[in-house]
């Protein structure tokens, strides 16, 4: 792991996000007042925050081993496979988001072919 202030900050950002994600994954339904919807929202937010932290580290060209170390340090309950899954999800996130937007646009506007503008 590099020891520049920026990389220490990035490592801490990933570790904090992983800790939040691991905690939310382990939370009982009681923590969310028995609401499955509140728990689902908390999990989705924690996953999004972890993906964002990992994606930012990838953009900063941190090594995958360094990122996996931060994920596992922050969320000791996450095993190596969980850490790799989160790394893959973050790496693929922008493409998944673009595909979701394409699908939503297609559903809202219909499948507009080349002849859609012709009468």
**What per-residue string of b and e applies to 96-114 under the rule 16 or more CB within 10 Å gives b?**
eeeeeeeeeeeeeeeeeee
Q: Running DSSP on this structure, what letter comes out for residue 98?
A: H
Q: What is the pLDDT of residue 1?
A: 45
Query: Does residue 88 surpass a pLDDT of 70?
Result: yes
CA dihedral of 83, 78, 52, 28, whole degrees rounded to 10: 150
The domain spans of the chain are 5-110
Asked if residue 116 has pLDDT above 70, the reply is: no
Torsion of CA 92, 98, 100, 102, to 10 degrees: -150
Average pLDDT of the residues in 91-114: 72
Token pair listed for 5: 């202030």
Query: Helices 64-74 and 36-59 meet at what angle, rounded to 10?
Result: 150
Per-residue model confidence as pLDDT tens digits over 26-69: 998 888 889 999 999 999 999 999 999 999 998 888 888 888 89
| C-alpha Rg value of the chain to the nearest Å | 19
Question: How many residues are there in the chain?
Answer: 119
């Amino acid at each position: 792991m590099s020891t520049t202030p920026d990389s220490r900050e990035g490592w801490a950002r990933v570790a904090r996000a992983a800790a939040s994600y691991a905690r939310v994954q382990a939370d009982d339904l009681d923590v969310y007042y028995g609401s499955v919807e509140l728990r689902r929202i908390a999990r989705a937010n924690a996953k999004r925050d972890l993906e964002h932290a990992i994606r930012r580290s990838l953009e900063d060209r941190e090594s995958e081993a360094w990122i996996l170390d931060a994920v596992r340090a922050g969320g000791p309950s996450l095993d190596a496979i969980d850490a790799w899954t989160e790394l893959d999800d973050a790496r693929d996130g922008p493409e998944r988001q673009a595909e979701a937007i394409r699908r939503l646009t297609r559903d809202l506007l219909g499948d507009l072919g080349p002849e859609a503008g012709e009468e």
